Amino acid sequence: MTKRGILYIILFLSVLVLAGLYVMMGYYYAGSFSYGTWINKVYCTGKSIDQVNQELKNSSLYSGILLTEEGGSKYFVDGATIGYEVDYKNELQSLLDNQKPLAWGINLFTSKDRNIVGDICIDEDMLRQSLERWPIFEDSGEAIYEIRRDDENGYYLVNNERNKPIFEVFLNKVSDAIHRKEYELDLSNDPECYIRLTPTDQDMAVKELFEKLDVLQNHNMSISMLDKSISFSGKEMADYAVTLKDMDKAKDEEISEDNPSLGRFIYGDKVGKFPSDYGIDGEFVVDSNGNLIISCSKLYDYYSKKVMEFDTEYDIAAYQKTGRGTIFVSGNKDGQFFDKDKEFESFLEAFATGENDDLVVEAPAKSFEIDAKELGNEYIIIDMGKQHLSYYKDGKLTLEYDVVTGNTGLGRSTPVGFFHVYNKRYHTILRGADYASYVNYWLGVNKGVGIHDATWRREFGGEIYKHSGSHGCINSPLEKMEILYNSVEVGVPVLLFY
């Protein structure tokens, strides 16, 4: 046999051996995964389904899923708390069934990693229990409408209208996401997950009550006189609606002749006693028609405080505090611009009917107003109602004392007005039709009316001016008049009022 023949025989036998070995390897991989098999980054060559399944389970940890709802609240469902498990046997069996044992050699050149999901299993009851702990599913009991109040806004309505998450829909969507092995699920914009809460009858009752309060607190009023208008805030007056807290006191109020407001209430367009057929609406007391009941006594206190702005003393004090303003002076000898109690009746009627929100009051004859800045920093104030003189210099009270002004009983009242010291006289005699009086110090104020000492008087102040007053001048104690005379120069403003 030639050498070439021997070589062919050796080559044939070698191929036959290799083929046999290849076939034997193919049969070896018949019950396991063939050479070069990778699944989910796990090397599976020569391993059985059970072995690979266990290794895949060990490498397939699932921490859980982070959920987000429309309000921004987030909640994490821990995979360990819901019995999360995954089994790959079905997919592994499919891969193995489709494996061609004798084609294992191809993997030497085309080996690649295969990815499979597996069959995910969770305990649905445990998932339900986990979701139930998410606070968004708790019934807060929060009403849709709430009435609140603060100093800036008065009464205002808080609208708590909102969507309510549907638990079962959330549960199903979360379960599906977990079975897809998702790690985050944003349900904030999923309309299937929410239902709009509708107001209950109680909610609507709260809203209707607020509407009554809102009408009341938007009912602003004013009283105008001369060039001044005083505003009455509806927000302030809304606070005078009778509440449960003060109902008993309101019911016990009795009508008084001395106070035009006690025992009287406004309800609807009526003013009268506290209604016997009252009812309750939230925290407020209402009449039989559902109208809020307004306390006239509280309204009167507010009214009285506000109309003080039509008071000369009030205006002077405001100027001394702020350095600006208007001073109103009444032409009446009692210093009043109007009958406060009488005008209150008009105020009540206008408030109840809503027909006249701006009341105009005619000022008494000889009433006037001045820009408070005309007083400057040095001035004399004579309050003839209190029979008291005050002298201010550099804006500070420098001298004050009681005086006696013109005899009102004999029609010799000292004139009301805003004047200036026009002259000063020392040791002079004042002459009139029936008198001649020597005085040491004289400050002329208005024509023949001035401020001077009256050594013939032993008492000053009180009500002396009503029966034993002067001929119109402002009588002063000698020692006080001496100080005033030496302090004041011609041109100093003098304000006289009752």
**481 is a domain residue:** yes
The DSSP code sequence of 23-64 is HHHHHHGGGSB-TT-EETTEE-BT--HHHHHHHHHHH----E
Q: Is 109 helix (H, G, I), strand (E, B) or coil?
A: helix
Could you tell me the pTM of the whole model? 0.69
Mean pLDDT by 10 residues, the chain (498 residues): 71 63 58 81 88 87 94 94 92 82 58 81 95 92 92 93 95 95 95 94 95 94 91 93 95 89 94 95 96 96 92 94 94 88 92 89 92 97 98 97 96 96 96 90 96 97 96 97 98 97
- Spatial CA neighbour of 471 closest among 429, 440, 418, 433: 433
**394 is a domain residue:** yes
Here the CATH number for the domain that contains residue 461 is 2.40.440.10
Sheet holding 113-114, edge to edge: 42-43, 38-39, 113-114
**446 is a domain residue:** yes
Q: Give pLDDT, residue 92.
A: 87
**421 is a domain residue:** yes
Two structure tokens written together for 400? 């004050």
Bridge-based pairing of strands 449-453 and 435-446 is antiparallel
Distance CA 446, CA 441 (A): 16
CB neighbour burial string for 82-100, b if at least 16 within 10 angstroms, e if fewer: bebebebeebbeebbeebe
**434 is a domain residue:** yes
Q: Give pLDDT, residue 101.
A: 63
**489 is a domain residue:** yes
Contact partners, residue 229, CB within 8 Å, separation at least 6: 222, 223, 358
From residue 488, give the alpha-carbon distance in Å to each of 238, 372, 428, 445: 51, 20, 18, 12
Cα-Cα end-to-end distance for the chain: 158
* Secondary structure E strands in 106-233: 113-114, 119-121, 145-150, 154-159, 163-165, 184-186, 194-196, 221-225, 228-232
Q: Give pLDDT, residue 1.
A: 65
Q: Give pLDDT, residue 44.
A: 86
Domain count, the chain: 1
Q: Give pLDDT, residue 25.
A: 55
**413 is a domain residue:** yes
Domain that holds residue 459: 376-497
Cβ(136)–Cβ(69) under 8 Å? yes
**422 is a domain residue:** yes
